[in-house]
């Protein structure tokens, strides 16, 4: 609501102005009244106003003098002049001072209300421009902070941008932290606007900090809120940082209803060390799975305490293969549930052994499919941060396979059986419907339609899926280079192989190998 001050040396005029206009309906309120310019200025020292409606001729300080003095203090204040003087010199001076309107007494109320509505539209436009400027500033700052954290900005550009964007460069300590936001076990991760959450965290985190200390928050490409803690001294930094991190964590929990984990990195003595601190936080997150029932705040330097547990053995694959072949859905669920039980009281678990085992179980199920789609395995893995979500993914993939595998076995026509046999034995060679149709003495279009009708996918998709299946096994269980694997499965252009693998598996060959880390 906008605030208004009425300034006139005639009390009846002031009272009339207060009563004659419905200020609430115009989203305004009377902040005060004054009988001359000096009194108005004194009041504005205590209560700033958006609009001043003033007379011209008043004792001690005229309305025009009041306007000049107020403009010097706050150039955004707007003015309407009410005067009994129609002399041109007053009108001209009022216009030169940028008043909204010059109205003669007795006031035409329609004209006054029209002037007020015009000002409201101006205010709305100004607010929108300010919001757009603020958003542009934050977008630019977030981009620079992300590049700084990832070390993808050169030193000169960063120094120039940091000064403009108020990123401190002369503090005594720089420490990175992260808030990881994860949905509950029943659904997907919460749909939130990360830049807005980061802005809210920054406001909360900066409340009540010691002198010379501050927090800057920004979202990163992994969906985490990254935090930069800075302080002018080194003593007591850990205490206020953990308190601020806990306040921000709790605020995100209350705002989103999600579970939030806080990870604090190592402190560095200059701004040049901030990327190193960020890396320590992101590496910790990359290497751990959270136990769903507990959220916590942890410092990376205390990580050793979380790793005092034995290496988890892999699943009993022979038993699992038998359960899959027998179609024992209930027993399969029991096997998966028992394997993914968190033993001990650790607040988190090493990610690699659990991810490796999950991939083994899902690939075992995929081996039962004639045209396996690996996109529903590897694509979601990068978004999984808790043990329960990993277990849910394994159960989902395995059950999808069981639902199709144990239905009636599909019987193919002799022509399609011949095509499938050729793909199985010669997938590494150049294959086309034209060549196969000549061998089978069929028209290529007819063979393509027959293949899609019986197999449920196009010939091209089937061949690509088969090749990607073979490539997946080589990537996971051999040390061969990606280019070598591409050639072995029928792709002579490595770039094309990368595109096709990403399309069908949901991740690149490099990303797949980083997900499934060999022991």
d(CA 35, CA 17): 13
Cα torsion for 384, 388, 389, 390, to the nearest 10°? 70
What does the alpha-carbon distance between residue 155 and residue 349 come to, in Å, rounded to a whole number? 37
With tokens 């120094």, the residue in question is 159
Would you state the pLDDT for residue 125?
82
CA 37 to chain centre: 51
pLDDT in single tens digits along all 519 residues of the chain: 899 999 999 998 888 888 888 888 888 999 999 999 999 999 998 888 999 999 988 998 988 899 999 988 888 899 998 887 766 777 778 778 888 888 888 888 888 889 988 888 888 888 777 766 778 888 999 999 999 999 999 999 999 999 888 899 999 999 999 999 987 655 455 567 889 999 999 999 999 999 999 999 999 988 899 999 999 876 667 889 999 999 999 999 998 888 899 999 999 999 999 999 999 999 999 888 888 766 788 888 654 444 444 566 788 888 888 888 887 788 999 999 989 887 777 778 888 889 888 988 998 888 877 777 777 788 788 788 888 899 999 999 998 888 776 554 557 888 988 998 899 899 999 999 999 999 888 998 999 999 998 888 899 988 998 899 889 889 888 889 999 999 999 998 989 999 999 888 878 898 888 777 644
3-state secondary structure 325-388: HHCCHHHHHHHHHHHCCCCCCCCEEEHHHHHHHHHHHHHHHHCCCCCCCCHHHHHHHCCCCEHH
CA distance 357 to 302: 27
Provide the pLDDT for residue 294: 64
Tell me the C-alpha distance between 476 and 517, whole Å: 8
The dihedral over CA atoms of 50, 54, 58, 64, expressed in degrees to the nearest 10, equals 70
- In this prediction, residue 518 carries a pLDDT of 47
Strands (E), 170-305: 173-182, 214-219, 225-231, 259-268, 288-290, 297-299
Of the candidates 239, 220, 225, the residue with the CA atom closest to the CA atom of residue 173: 239
Domains and CATH numbers, the chain: 2-107 (3.40.50.2300), 155-300 (3.30.70), 317-405 (no CATH), 414-515 (1.10.10.60)
pLDDT at position 488, please?
Answer: 93
For residue 110, what pLDDT is reported?
86
CB-CB contact of 217 with 225 (8 Å): yes
| Cβ atoms of residues 105 and 84 within 8 Å | yes
Per-residue confidence (pLDDT) for residue 184, from 0 to 100:
63
Distance CA 159, CA 398 (A): 52
CA-nearest of 513, 498, 482 to 359 is: 513
Q: Write the Ramachandran bin of 43: left for phi over 0, alpha for psi from -120 to 50, otherwise beta.
A: alpha
Distance CA 374, CA 355 (A): 15
Nearest to 322 by CA among 290, 281, 365, 284: 365
Label residue 163 exposed, middle or buried (CB < 10 Å: 0-12, 13-18, 19+).
exposed
Identify the pLDDT of residue 152: 93
64: tokens are 């025009």
Q: With CA atoms as reference, report the closest residue to 384 among 222, 150, 218, 253.
A: 222
Q: Model pTM?
A: 0.64
């Amino acid at each position: 609501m906008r605030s208004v001050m009425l300034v006139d040396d005639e009390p009846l005029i002031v009272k009339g102005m207060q009563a004659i206009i419905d200020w609430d309906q115009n989203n305004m309120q009377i902040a005060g009244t004054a009988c001359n310019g000096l009194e108005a200025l004194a009041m504005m020292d205590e209560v700033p106003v958006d609009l001043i409606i003033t007379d011209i001729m008043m004792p001690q300080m005229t309305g025009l003098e009041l306007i000049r003095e107020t403009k010097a203090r706050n150039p955004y204040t707007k003015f309407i002049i009410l005067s009994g003087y129609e002399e041109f010199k007053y009108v001209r001076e009022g216009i030169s001072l940028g008043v909204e309107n010059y109205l003669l007494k007795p006031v035409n109320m329609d004209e006054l209300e029209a002037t007020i509505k015009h000002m409201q539209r101006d205010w709305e436009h100004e607010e929108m421009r300010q919001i757009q400027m603020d958003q542009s500033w934050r977008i630019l700052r977030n981009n620079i902070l992300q590049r700084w954290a990832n070390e993808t900005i050169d030193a000169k550009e960063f120094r120039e941008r940091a000064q403009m964007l108020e990123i401190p460069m002369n503090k005594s300590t720089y420490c990175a932290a992260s808030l990881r936001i994860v949905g509950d076990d029943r659904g997907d991760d919460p749909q939130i606007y990360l830049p807005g959450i980061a802005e809210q965290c920054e406001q909360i985190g900066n409340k009540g900090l010691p002198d010379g200390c501050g927090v800057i928050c920004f979202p990163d490409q992994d969906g985490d809120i990254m935090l930069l803690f800075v302080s002018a001294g080194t003593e007591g930094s850990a205490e206020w940082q953990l308190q601020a991190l806990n306040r921000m964590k709790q605020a995100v929990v209350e705002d989103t209803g999600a579970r939030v984990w806080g990870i604090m990195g190592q402190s560095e003595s200059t701004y040049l060390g901030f990327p190193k601190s960020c890396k320590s936080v992101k590496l910790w997150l990359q290497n751990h799975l959270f136990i769903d029932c507990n959220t916590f705040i942890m410092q990376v330097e205390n990580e050793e305490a979380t790793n005092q547990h034995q290496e988890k053995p892999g699943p009993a694959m022979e038993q699992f293969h038998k359960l899959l072949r027998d179609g024992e859905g209930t027993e399969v669920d029991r096997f998966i549930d028992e394997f993914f039980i968190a033993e001990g009281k650790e607040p988190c678990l090493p990610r690699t052994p659990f991810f490796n085992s999950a991939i083994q179980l899902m690939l075992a199920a995929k081996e039962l499919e004639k045209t396996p789609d690996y996109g529903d395995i590897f694509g979601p893995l990068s978004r999984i941060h808790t043990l329960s979500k990993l277990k849910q993914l394994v159960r989902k993939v395995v059950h999808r396979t069981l639902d199709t595998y144990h239905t009636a076995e599909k019987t193919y026509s002799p022509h399609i059986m011949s095509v499938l046999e050729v793909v199985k034995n010669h997938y590494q060679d150049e294959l086309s419907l034209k060549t196969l149709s000549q061998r089978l003495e069929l028209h290529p279009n007819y063979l393509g339609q027959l293949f899609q009708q019986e197999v449920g996918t196009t010939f091209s998709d089937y061949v690509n899926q088969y090749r990607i299946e073979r490539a997946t096994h080589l990537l996971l269980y051999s040390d061969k280079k990606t280019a070598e694997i591409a050639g072995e499965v029928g792709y002579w252009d490595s770039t094309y192989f990368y595109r096709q693998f990403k399309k069908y598996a949901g991740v690149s060959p490099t990303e797949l190998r980083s997900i499934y880390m060999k022991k």
